[in-house]
Amino acid sequence: MTIVRTRFAPSPTGNLHIGGIRTALFSWAYARHFNGIFILRIEDTDINRSTLSATQTIIDGMKWLGLNYDEGPFYQTKRINRYFEIINYLLSNDYAYYCYSSVEEIESFRKKQRSFGEKPRYNRIWRPEPGKILPSIPINRKPVIRFKNPLYGNITWNDLIKGKITISNKELDDLVIVRADGIPTYNFCAAIDDWDMKITHVIRGDDHINNTPRQINILKALGVTLPFYGHLPMVIDSNKVKISKRKEATDIMYYKKKGFLPEAILNYLARLGWSHGNEEIFSIKQFCYWFNDCKYLSKSPAQFNLKKLEWLNNFYIKSYDDKKLLNLIQPIIKKKNIEYNTLNVLKIISLFKNRVNTLTELSDIIIIFYSAPKLHIELLKKYITDIIKLALMECVLQFSNIIWEKQILNITLKKILEKFKLNMPQLAMPLRIILLNKLQTPSIDLILSLFNRNIVLDRIKNAIKNLNNTNKNLHI
């Protein structure tokens, strides 16, 4: 039985796009399901646009998500000699030829073709044919090398996702396989690599559908076995537009920075355009077990939904234990240079982890416990009367001398409420705003107990001072 071999072949020309990771995930999971081999190949022959930092981001992103590769990373720029071995073979076997047409000449044929309502294409003036006399070679012009695409017939493949696809050779140009600068082009390198790397299943975005017949023709000229091809529909945004490579929110590292967990991202992307019954939440291991056939992938574009990703992230955050979460957010809170009490922070995590969608939200909450947020005075004023202000002053007094513990805080708060004839929400709301800048929190005695006493006193005093400075609108 042949071993399944799949690959992810990104071009390192920008960020690591979320659509690209989805492609990588399906390719990876397919190999994992069949105990096959998954390869990482960096397609860096576009030298002007490829960068080392983009390559590093791909490697880091794959590692972060746990999409481990068994072979690679292979770099196309390191395989140029191999490509030329094949190019020389194609040249000497009449499958490829030098073309000396200048860019201006090609543009002018195209203009003419357009004016006749024809599809613009290369006029094949340099294509050698028996009995044809070729133009004389212009001096000092660097040629490109073109593949001699068959002139007739069709290319048909059974796409793993989209089913049977047929494209006529009449639609295809004589593809440039080596540019004038001597660098082989994507379609050529990808075809040779898929062959050399013994790829059995090419799973990639459907923006490559037009490249597939070109690559098949090259492989056919070499007389080698073709891989299966599967083209994944693109990911679109809520406006049904392809999510662009340039928008920040399509960069996988943006989600890492924002505090999304790899499990949530992989679960979300696996479910995007694929399903297994009604299952919404599943581990990546489970997904690999289920994912045995690309035909169950949707044929239509998949709509990216941030709310659903957040929902899944919330689910996985809740399921993590508090210490693991602390380890993950420690680097973020350390950057703020705050001195925190680990035991208390663990309690804060346990109390808030089911209320946040991201690790950043969770660390923001922890930071607020130690470093004062800007007081939301306009909001606070809505919950303040003179009596409540007096009750807050009483809090400062009473809180100074009690044992700092939830139960005692509860009793103390109740005494203050009784003294000023207030109910709990009347005092709890302003305290929530003063302490956490929020209207909704778990019970206020619990929140208070997780704070450092002096921080509570300072924040209440500061709020009273601010209210006194702006007390014109207060009413009894």
Residues lying near ligand GLU in the complex (CB under 6 A): 9-11, 43, 190, 204, 208
CA 395 and chain centroid, separation: 48
- The continuous run of DSSP H or E covering 230 comes out as strand 228-232
**Residue 245 assigned as binding residue:** yes
Strands 96-99 and 144-147: antiparallel
The widest CA-to-CA distance across the chain, in whole angstroms, is 110
Own/partner long-range contacts of 341-349 (Cβ < 8 Å, ≥24 apart): 341/452, 344/369, 344/450, 345/369, 346/322, 347/450, 348/450, 349/322, 349/325
By beta-carbon proximity to ligand GLU, the closer residue of 227 and 259 is 227
DSSP characters for 402-454?
S--SHHHHHHHHHHHHHHHT--HHHHHHHHHHHHHS-S--S-HHHHHHHS-HH
CB of 43 to ligand GLU, least distance (A): 4
Q: What is the DSSP letter of 17?
A: B
Q: Shortest gap between Cβ of 217 and ligand GLU (angstroms)?
A: 15
CB 163 within 8 A of CB 196: no
Tell me how far, at minimum, the Cβ of 192 lies from ligand GLU, in Å.
12
At residue 357, the 3 state secondary structure works out as coil
428 contacts: CB under 8 Å, gap ≥ 6: 443, 444
**Is the CB of 10 or the CB of 61 nearer to ligand GLU?**
10
Q: State which residue, 297 or 326, has the beta carbon closest to ligand GLU.
A: 297
> How far apart, in Å, are the Cα atoms of 379 and each of 12, 423, 459, 464, 474?
48, 19, 15, 14, 13
User: Where do the DSSP E strands lie in 82-218?
Assistant: 96-99, 144-147, 154-159, 163-168, 176-178, 201-205
- Name residue 3's beta-bridge partners: none
Nearer to ligand GLU by Cβ, of 124 and 204: the residue is 204
Q: In angstroms, what is the minimal distance from the CB of 208 to ligand GLU?
A: 5
Shortest spacing between CB 293 and ligand GLU, in angstroms:
20
Q: 54 or 388: whose CB is closer to ligand GLU? A: 54
For the bound state, the minimum distance from the C-beta of residue 7 to ligand GLU, rounded and expressed in Å, comes to: 7
Least distance (Å) from ligand GLU to the CB of residue 355?
Answer: 39
Give the distance from CA 12 to its chain's centroid.
14
Q: Which is nearer to ligand GLU, 6 or 449 (CB)?
A: 6
- Residue 190 or residue 365: which is nearer to ligand GLU going by CB? 190
Which residue in the shown chain puts its C-beta closest to ligand GLU?
204
Output the known binding site: 245
Binding region for ATP: 245
